[in-house]
Amino acid sequence: MPKPKNKPKKPSVSASKVAELAGVSRSAVSRTFTDGASVSADTRARVMAAAEKLGYHVNHLARGLIHHRSGIVCLIVAELQTPFQSSFVEVLTHQLQAKGKVVMVLNTSGVAANVEAALRQTLNYRADATVVLSGAPPLSLIETCIDNGQRMILINRADARKGAHIVLIENEIAAAEACFMLRRAGCKRLAVVSSTAGTPSIVAREEAFVAAAREAGVEAVVSRAGPTGYAAGAESARQLLAGSKRPDGVFCATDLLALGFLDAARIEFKLSLPQDLCVVGFDDINAAGWLGYDLTTFRQPLPEIAAHIAAVLDEDEPEELQIRRFPAQVIWRKTVRP
């Protein structure tokens, strides 16, 4: 049976065709579709009617490239399936699209080389800016993007050179506050549930908590049972709670780790919270507020961060390295004794 032939691609409608049908000049069509340009009401009506009849759409990419602006903003993201990352992407894409940006999400889950490949792809598409939400691309590649006229916004990474914009969560302050909260609740044996991911934010929280505990005269035990996820949190609970000197106060570097830890502590070890054990998380994902967890945690101000990133893209490119810090807010629930 012969294969059906592909239908020939319908040629795109040009602005000249619209001008011819509307009985106006080519430049009048251009002004009609340019925000703020001067055009009479009669001309605008004729052009819009012709454009609708012909099915004409402005090629914003081509127009932007003429002015060396594509309007594309790339998001470099890993672990899109995790609640925090998916929430961050949702909030950020809404903010950027409201500013008229075209958002391209590049998923870099898997091997580290995927982050480098994604960044090089942003150069191929002449993206105006790239927001690195996760991953650890080498500094040299970030500098290459900057040298090619691309705006770089890095989340929780402070080693870039001038021309980049850094957004940092005050992880160290929050982790130290978590230690204080647990000590105030009467906890004497502390632990921190971290992960093998080794991201700057995870490492900062882990190290700051350990340092704060040591300053208080307590040696905090560190557990890294696997990647940053529910299963690693549950496994950390098995490792930490099986011994005779089990901790009575635990700081989990993310809420997802905390949820796994809580379930294992309650179901497998029959512990009651906060009577037998106090737990603090980080991120304030939706599940943290569910009745089954009611987790005391720290909230990252995602709407404020997203609004800041969108505003930065409308500003002139910085000559120096810019850093903006955001605090993490304590959300009190029921896994820590008051």
Going from the C-alpha of 54 to that of each of 44, 172, 297, the distances in angstroms are 15, 59, 56
pLDDT, residue 287, reads 97
Q: Is the dihedral of CA 276, 223, 298, 295 positive or negative?
A: negative
CA atoms within 13 A on the CB side of 256: 16
Model confidence at 212, in pLDDT bands (50, 70, 90)? very high
* pLDDT tens-digit series, residues 20-38: 888 888 778 777 766 667 8
* pLDDT tens-digit series, residues 65-108: 444 456 888 888 878 888 999 999 999 999 999 988 888 887 77
What is the distance, to the nearest Å, from the Cα of residue 69 to the centroid of all Cα atoms in its chain? 23
198-202 contacts, C-beta under 8 A, 24 or more apart? 199/134, 199/136, 199/156, 199/228, 200/136, 200/156, 200/157, 200/158, 201/156, 201/169, 201/171, 202/228, 202/253, 202/254
* pLDDT tens-digit series, residues 260-276: 999 999 999 999 999 99
Model confidence at 162, in pLDDT bands (50, 70, 90)? low
pLDDT, residue 115, reads 65
Decide if 280 contacts 102 (C-beta within 8 A).
Answer: no
Decide if 166 contacts 322 (C-beta within 8 A).
Answer: yes
Owner of token pair 């605090």: 327
pLDDT, residue 135, reads 56
pLDDT, residue 298, reads 98
Residue 62 has pLDDT above 50, yes or no: no
Q: What percent of the chain has pLDDT over 90?
A: 49
Domains of the chain in start order, with CATH, are 15-52 (no CATH), 72-169+302-326 (3.40.50.2300), 171-300 (3.40.50.2300)
pLDDT, residue 102, reads 85
Which stretches of 99-138 are DSSP H helices? 113-124
Predicted TM-score (pTM) of the model is 0.77
- Region 216-230: mean pLDDT is 95
Decide if 21 contacts 30 (C-beta within 8 A).
Answer: no
- Region 2-10: mean pLDDT is 54
